[in-house]
Structure 1
């Protein structure tokens, strides 16, 4: 089959490419692409082209501006009760829509990035400790 298969789900699109599509992706002039679109978009498209050229699968998704607590918990890979505790503690801002709690996607993504940075810092500290103590596993 020489056609690109597109699977459209709720909020995301998955592209699985053929050998022909991968060859076409390798032939794209990324410098010309960068001059034709905004830099942020060029960066994303260049990465998509690299993955497609390598024969990989790319999934593009969209995130609504406002999330339910279930969606936010899924994005953070935590349980909903843990998320509610973070909201009560003020770690993640939220607001009520009627009796329902909602979160801004930007706030959830910012919290996720803060947590990832804390994890990276802890890992760097652990590696430094291992190096200082000459620990080799």
Structure 2
């Protein structure tokens, strides 16, 4: 992954509680802040110090805290990061051979570095979104067929 660190974290029960409390504070700060400018946070114990964060970073923090509060594992990967096939398979929660099949079928963009495949994180995310869209369409179609047949 050429200088890019993938950071994963699975919250403990205790840290999920902390995350839930922090999420409320962050949400209040987001709702009070106007516009797209930075959001200021005070630092406890340092009355003259304040931390200014871009709104996008605070929104990302809120999303991260929401997942942690729900007890879900969270990974942070920059869009431009290149993942190994094992890292990409782990992100999709599939086996590495299954992922390689998707790559060879042209389902996900990748490049080769020597004999090794590298997948951009954004390509993986794009594939996930498209796969989710197809699943929703299939579920909607099944629901419609069930209603037409009088099964619901």
Unpaired runs of at least 5, structure 1 = 1-9
- Normalised by the size of structure 1, how large is the TM-score? 0.68
Matches within 5 A, 1:1-137: 11-13=7-9, 14=11, 15-18=15-18, 22=21, 25-26=23-24, 28-33=28-33, 35=35, 36-37=38-39, 38=54, 40-47=56-63, 56-57=70-71, 60-63=74-77, 65-136=81-152
Number of positions where the alignment pairs a residue of Structure 1 with one of Structure 2 = 123
Higher relative CO (Cα under 8 Å, sequence separation at least 6) belongs to: 2
Shift of 1:77: 2.4
Unpaired runs of at least 5, structure 2 = 1-5, 40-53
CA separation of 1:40/1:69 partners in 2, compared to 1, >3 Å: closer, same or farther? same
2:94 counterpart SS class: coil
**Equivalent residue number for residue 3 of structure 1:** none
Mapped contact 2:8–2:76 kept (Cα < 8 A): yes
**Equivalent residue number for residue 5 of structure 1:** none
2:117 counterpart SS class: strand
